[in-house]
Structure 1
């Protein structure tokens, strides 16, 4: 069959585009089995069926097309858009992940010089930006599960690749979240395993900096994870309460306002220890964090997260007080000043929050009373103006 040309479609291929728009997966599957249908055919704008499915947010259709050999990196679009760019524009994180997992290249630029992450950010799809900027393929990690050169043993035991990849792919860099991911997997929560994983993170960090297309963002993320894994290992060696003790240290707030001082100092120290002093990203982080007194905004973890995820609207979102996950909705019923993912996170945080809960409640009620007085004065003022008129 001839190579696809823009707008050169058989009647069946034209029907395929219509079926994709309608979202009829079963009919699309039938059409893809026809001899005169090319899975990478191009419409008049140079869009493939996969691009259409990604832009329209049809996850099942994308999966079907990829199974039939759709080229995730096809770049024939008239403005240089790729399937990953269309996925980012759609705002569908599952489709964005699907494109990445299928091998989508993240550094390709369109006709105006924007990458997929930049396109997603431009239209406000920051969750997709997070997925793209945090993606690290399992294949890149599996490289370390095989002996290289004269090595008799791999640097990373194969059984640890899955649990470690889950940690790497976490979109929350909150150290409590990362420790919880370690704790939930018995294979990972051992000193020897953590030491091996930490070493692999350091190697990936080094590779990201020294490769031709330097990736400081990924290098910083790998370094930060290696620091968290190292802290987990030291607690497992020294503390009887082990990782529970580390979580409590990270969550414990000071008596005046509940601010987690240990966590703030730990994150700052991790950033300070980044081994490549001339990195632009490190200098940006230091300039943003160093002048801020501990306890004030922005916190070190918020600055680090914003730098790594690329989320412009980071500070406008609701994040769990305990683990830092985005989209938390459950507020403390007493003070209503802190927010959690669920009851588990609330219980985990209660040991320290209970010391300041009443104080925060009083502050909130005082602020609400003052706001009510201002509204009342404003309302009375408007009434006077109306009477004069």
Structure 2
């Protein structure tokens, strides 16, 4: 097949683009088997079939094209857009992750100097920004599953690579969620396994700081995960309740307001222990967090999450009080003030929440009553204002009518007199 040129499409390739737009995967598979179809053909704008599929949010189509050898880093678009940029613009996190898994480069810029993450942020696709900013390829982790140099054993047993990679790729940095991910995998419920994982996190952190392309954000994330894994190891070793005890410590709230003090102190300590004191990110985090009294906003978790994932605040989403998972919808039936993603998280948090639940209920009812009073007062004020405006308008109208009437007619009308008849001359 000849090298692809912009707009140089065969009839079958034009049909392929139409099929992609329609989302017919079966027909696309048939066309891709044709000899006169190039998987990396370019339309008149320099877009490949993969770019079209990514922009239109067709996940199965993207998967098919990648299986047929689509170039994920093709950069022939007239404005320098890549398939990853189109995936970010579509707002589809699964497609964005698919492009990254296929080897998409994250630091490529388009004609206006924006990366894929910046393009996604520009159009408000913050979930895609988070996926891009938190991506760490499995291949980079697999490097540690093979003996290097004179090593007889790898630093990371191959069986641990999958569970550890799942934790690394998590965009939810709530320590409770990370402990849950450890707890759900039996391979990680071992002090030796956790220490090996922690050591690999330290090595990756060091590599991110010392490599030519400095990546302080990724370094901080690896360090933070390493701290959580170390804390898990300590609890498994010293406590009979193992990670259940750690989760309880992280969720335990203050008596007066339920704020998780241990969790806040733990995250602050993780940040403080970051080994590279000259790092700009560390200094920014410390300047933001240190003046804040424990229990006030912003919390250490929110500051760390924003720095690592790129999420600005928490937008309009609801987050689980227990594990911090996005999109939580279930509320406590009593106070209706705290939110959970499922019943399991509600049960885990109840031991702490029950101490302040009634107080939160009273505060909510008081707030609702005050709001109702304010609304009633506002409605009455608006009603009085409307009556006053109508009264004033009527008075003004009456005054205008009086000013427009003649004095004689006014006097006659007021006395009820009948005008004199026209005099008649008698001869």
TM-score bracket for the superposition, by shorter chain length: over 0.9
Alignment match, 1:165: 165
Partner of 2:28: helix, strand, or coil?
A: helix
Work out the CA distance in 2 between the residues paired with 1:316 and 1:114. Answer: 26
Alignment match, 1:187: 187
Alignment match, 2:45: 45
Q: Give yes or no for contact 2:126–2:311 (8 Å, CA) kept in 1.
A: yes
Alignment root-mean-square deviation, CA: 0.8
Q: Give the CA deviation at 1:315.
A: 4.6
- Spell out, residue by residue over 1:66-100, the C-alpha distance to the aligned partner (whole angstroms, 9 max, x if none): 01000000011111110000000000011011101
Partner of 2:275: helix, strand, or coil?
A: coil
Work out the CA distance in 2 between the residues paired with 1:115 and 1:361. Answer: 47
Q: Give yes or no for contact 1:121–1:312 (8 Å, CA) kept in 2.
A: no
Work out the CA distance in 1 between the residues paired with 2:369 and 2:78. Answer: 59
Alignment match, 1:367: 367
Alignment match, 1:26: 26
Pair 1:159–1:168, CA change in 2 (3 A): same
Alignment match, 1:215: 215
- Spell out, residue by residue over 1:295-320, the C-alpha distance to the aligned partner (whole angstroms, 9 max, x if none): 01111001101111101252532111
Work out the CA distance in 2 between the residues paired with 1:265 and 1:286. Answer: 13
- Spell out, residue by residue over 1:20-69, the C-alpha distance to the aligned partner (whole angstroms, 9 max, x if none): 11111111111111111100000111100000000000011101100100
Alignment match, 1:293: 293
Work out the CA distance in 1 between the residues paired with 2:82 and 2:204. Answer: 27
Work out the CA distance in 2 between the residues paired with 1:254 and 1:77. Answer: 56
Q: Give the CA deviation at 1:331.
A: 0.7
Work out the CA distance in 2 between the residues paired with 1:36 and 1:255. Answer: 72
**After the TM superposition, which residues 43-192 of structure 1 pair with which residues of structure 2 at under 5 Å, given as runs?**
43-192=43-192
Alignment match, 2:262: 262
Q: Give the CA deviation at 1:271.
A: 0.5
Q: Give the CA deviation at 1:186.
A: 1.1
TM-score (norm 2): 0.90
Work out the CA distance in 1 between the residues paired with 2:267 and 2:313. Answer: 21
Alignment match, 2:278: 278
Alignment match, 1:337: 337
Flag the structure with more relative contact order, 1 or 2, with Cα contacts below 8 A and sequence separation at least 6: 1
Pair 1:18–1:313, CA change in 2 (3 A): farther
Work out the CA distance in 2 between the residues paired with 1:119 and 1:147. Answer: 40
Alignment match, 2:201: 201
Establish whether residue 346 from structure 1 lines up as the match of residue 349 from structure 2.
no
Q: Give yes or no for contact 2:302–2:313 (8 Å, CA) kept in 1.
A: no
| Structure 1, unpaired ranges of 5+ | none
Alignment match, 1:322: 322
Work out the CA distance in 2 between the residues paired with 1:314 and 1:117. Answer: 18
Work out the CA distance in 1 between the residues paired with 2:287 and 2:69. Answer: 47
- Spell out, residue by residue over 1:114-137, the C-alpha distance to the aligned partner (whole angstroms, 9 max, x if none): 111111111111111111111111
Q: Which moved more, 1:129-138 or 1:254-263?
A: 129-138
Q: Give yes or no for contact 1:121–1:311 (8 Å, CA) kept in 2.
A: no
Q: Which moved more, 1:131-140 or 1:250-259?
A: 131-140
Alignment match, 2:235: 235
Work out the CA distance in 2 between the residues paired with 1:6 and 1:275. Answer: 50
Q: Give the CA deviation at 1:286.
A: 1.1
TM-score (norm 1): 0.99
Work out the CA distance in 2 between the residues paired with 1:250 and 1:30. Answer: 54
Computing the radius of gyration from Cα coordinates, the structure with the larger value is 2
Work out the CA distance in 1 between the residues paired with 2:43 and 2:313. Answer: 35
- Spell out, residue by residue over 1:99-157, the C-alpha distance to the aligned partner (whole angstroms, 9 max, x if none): 01111111111111111111111111111111111111111101000000000000001
Q: Give the CA deviation at 1:177.
A: 0.4
Work out the CA distance in 2 between the residues paired with 1:75 and 1:125. Answer: 22
Q: Give yes or no for contact 1:330–1:340 (8 Å, CA) kept in 2.
A: yes
Q: Give yes or no for contact 2:337–2:361 (8 Å, CA) kept in 1.
A: yes
Q: Give yes or no for contact 1:126–1:313 (8 Å, CA) kept in 2.
A: no
Q: Give the CA deviation at 1:183.
A: 0.8
Establish whether residue 252 from structure 1 lines up as the match of residue 252 from structure 2.
yes
Alignment match, 2:36: 36
